[in-house]
Amino acid sequence: MRNVGVGFIPTLGALRRRTPFIFYYISYCISETPFREGINPISAKLISCGKIFNIQFRPVRIRYQYFSGILMTEQGIQPVVRLSGITKRFLDVTASNNITFDLYPGEICALLGENGAGKTTLMNILFGYYTCDEGQIYIKGQKVNLAAPKDAISRGVGMIHQHFALVQSQTVLENIIIGMGSGKRIFLDLKSARRELTALQERFGLQIDPDARIWTLSVGEQQKVEILKALYRDVDILIMDEPTAVLAPAETDDLFNTLRSLVIEGRSVVFISHKLNEVMDISDRIVVLRAGQVVAQRKVSETNARELANLMVGRELLESIEKKKIEPGQPVLEIENLNALNDKKIPALKDLNLVVRQNEILGMAGISGNGQRELAEILFGLREPTAGSIKVNGKRLKFGSPASAIGLKMGRIPEDRIDTGLMMDLTVEENLILETHGSAEFQRFGLMKSSRIRRFSDDLIAAYDIKTAGREAVTKSLSGGNLQKVMLARELAGRPAAIVAAQPTRGLDVGAMEYIHQRILQERDRGAGILLISEDLDEVFNLSDRIVVLYEGAVMGETHGEDASREQVGLWMSGVHR
């Protein structure tokens, strides 16, 4: 044993109590037996209020050069959360099958798996949203019964869902204090709440106007509100479900900085994501689920994105996508001098001109907020432009009319499959015929052709490998990847001449992404013209025959896919000509 000087952050509990302490000495003990996952303990004695305490600390995430204070026992680090033998069934489907999962203080643990692998279900059990059929939950060493989210929150567990639970018409401050109560007061103490919120913002660098209405905020800003909401409730175990799915790169960097500041204080984070490069960047440890079971655990230093992808799907993924070289045909989608305003009545599109041809994928790259969403909504019939025209197969599209797009045989794959793509309370079968149920194929003399609808639905479920309990299953019971397959099956069943795919793989696992990409290429080879709007540059580069970059509502640059330079595209995305 030798004495060394080590800088570290004390436990969060000590900070909260504002206990004055002086470091007496720090001894670094190198153990012959590997400490948990190869990390050696640092023991310390502190003098606090005239008393000597023996407290252990461990260093974490050395590549960021900080230490996290963690209370130890003689047996070593104890998990702050232990899920033991967790099983959860939904009718005949076992979503979680005898899962044991540990989360340690001061770590970021990534939870990986295909859509439907059981990641969100497992974390919903920890958050009290579901109750398990079998198994036990331990938080900070105590066995607990979590019958509702309020039980989890009271024990320091918070969860930020992929779809935020914020009241759009209320302010940031109002959203943060919702459900907190006022104690013995008749009225809420808004001044005190504002002071506490301001202190949290300064402490974690989450700057946002407390008086801003939620609907005026970007997705990244709304996520900051959700994090502040959890911190305001004093959670030290934070579950984040697909937190970067809709974030721009700069917003993702901000989020990661926030997570790192949380673990410095000894808090723990469960990070659910499909973006393997991000998982490798932010996580300490990775747990992989497949079909409701834990199939692997890895330290970040001992794995790579390729291995993780194969573990998730249980097979070797394709190294690259094969794309045939085909000459484009006639125009199938023509956009001329299109102008539009965004929700704040600020110009979002400025004299936009685009042409998409048969047998062609036109990829549209750009940082979020440069007019992509408004363009997609106009094409889908959900927003009217201020000027311009759109033709599909030479016929003019009627603005503000989804029926016009359907009638002109335009396949529409919106970025938000839940709010604008599907009706979640309908069955899978009903969603598959949602746009064509009134056609002669499915209706005669006002009566539905039930047997024809059943055959049609069963054929699509089989052809698109949609994992569901059956065509009569409620759509909201499906995983994200299978929801996307339902939408894809419906939109492609009519063999559309033009397809608009907005963020088609957002929030999907690597296996589902591979499938969607292959389907898009099949449609292109069949003769369809496809406008691919995506913020995933890998997706744009791998699939596109031509690439345009949208910046502040106009085309900043255009290049052919085979000649595309990431550096040049990146400059265009930043508004730089070269």
Map out the domains of the chain as residue ranges: 73-313, 330-409+495-574
Residues 258, 177: Cα–Cα separation, whole Å? 21
Whether residue 8 has pLDDT greater than 60: no
- Parallel, antiparallel or unpaired: strands 529-533 and 498-502: parallel
Q: Which one is predicted more confidently, 403 or 577? A: 403
Which DSSP letter does residue 385 get?
Answer: -
How far apart, in whole angstroms, are the C-alpha atoms of residue 342 and residue 373?
9
pLDDT tens digits for 247-274? 777 788 889 999 999 999 899 999 998 8
Q: SS3 for 117?
A: coil
pLDDT digits (tens, 9 = 90+) for 213-229: 998 887 788 989 999 99
Assess contact for 473 and 481: CB atoms under 8 A.
Answer: no
| Cβ proximity of 374 and 384 under 8 Å | no
- pLDDT score of 14: 35
Query: What SS3 state is found at 429?
Result: helix
Which structure tokens are listed for 189?
Answer: 């103490």
Residue among 363, 365, 361 at smallest CA distance from 535 = 365
Q: What is the DSSP string of 18-59?
A: T--EEEEEEEE---SSPPGGGPPPEEEEEEETTEEEEEEEEE
Residue 83 phi, psi (nearest 5)? -105, 120
- As a 3-state breakdown, the chain gives helix, strand, coil percent values, each rounded to 5, of 35, 30, 40
Question: How far apart (Å, rounded) are the C-alpha atoms in residues 548 and 535?
Answer: 12
Closest CA to 44 of 33, 34, 32, 57: 57
Q: Strand, helix or coil at 269?
A: strand
Phi-psi region of 423 (alpha: psi -120 to 50; beta: other; left: phi over 0): beta
pLDDT higher than 90, residue 546: yes
73-313 topology per CATH:
Rossmann fold (3.40.50)
- How confident is the model at residue 36, as a pLDDT? 34
pLDDT digit string, tens, across residues 318-348: 666 778 889 999 999 999 999 999 988 999 9
Burial of 20 per CB tally in 10 Å (0-12, 13-18, 19+):
exposed
Mean pLDDT of the chain: 82
Fill in the amino acid letter for 483: L
Pairing of strands 498-502, 410-413: parallel
Please tell me which of 179-183, 316-320, 461-465, 547-551 the model is most confident about, judged by mean pLDDT: 547-551
- CA–CA separation, 96 vs 86, rounded Å? 7
In DSSP terms, 294 is beta-bridged to 289
For residues 332 and 30, the model is more confident at: 332
Model-level pTM?
Answer: 0.70
Mean pLDDT value of segment 436-448? 85
Following DSSP, what letter does each residue of 306-351 receive, concatenated? HHHHHHHHTSPPPSS---------SEEEEEEEEEEE-TTS-EEEEE
**β-strands 443-444, 447-448: how paired?**
antiparallel
Cβ-contact 303, 283 below 8 angstroms:
no
Q: Give the whole-angstrom CA distance, residue 263 versus residue 310.
A: 29
pLDDT of residue 565: 83
The percent of residues in the chain predicted with pLDDT above 90, rounded, is 54
Beta strands in 165-300 (DSSP E): 237-241, 268-272, 285-290, 293-299
| Superfamily holding 330-409+495-574 | P-loop containing nucleotide triphosphate hydrolases (3.40.50.300)
Residue 205 is encoded by which pair of tokens? 């660098």
Task: Judge whether residue 308 has pLDDT over 50.
Answer: yes
Q: Count Cα atoms within 13 angstroms, Cβ side, for 109.
A: 26
- For residues 211 and 406, give the distance between their C-alpha atoms in angstroms, rounded to a whole number: 42
More confident residue, 106 or 53: 106
pLDDT band at 185 (very low <50, low <70, confident <90, very high): low
> Which pLDDT belongs to residue 182?
53
For residues 324 and 388, the model is more confident at 388
- Same fold yes or no, 73-313 and 330-409+495-574: yes
For 54-81, the pLDDT digits (tens) are 333 333 333 332 333 344 444 467 899 9
Q: What is the C-alpha to C-alpha distance for residues 167 and 179, in angstroms, rounded to an integer?
A: 12
Collect all residues with Cβ–Cβ distance below 8 Å to 356 and sequence separation of at least 6: 331, 332, 333, 334, 362, 498, 529, 530, 531
Q: Which H helix or E strand runs over 499?
A: strand 498-502
Give 32's pLDDT tier (boundaries 50, 70, 90): very low
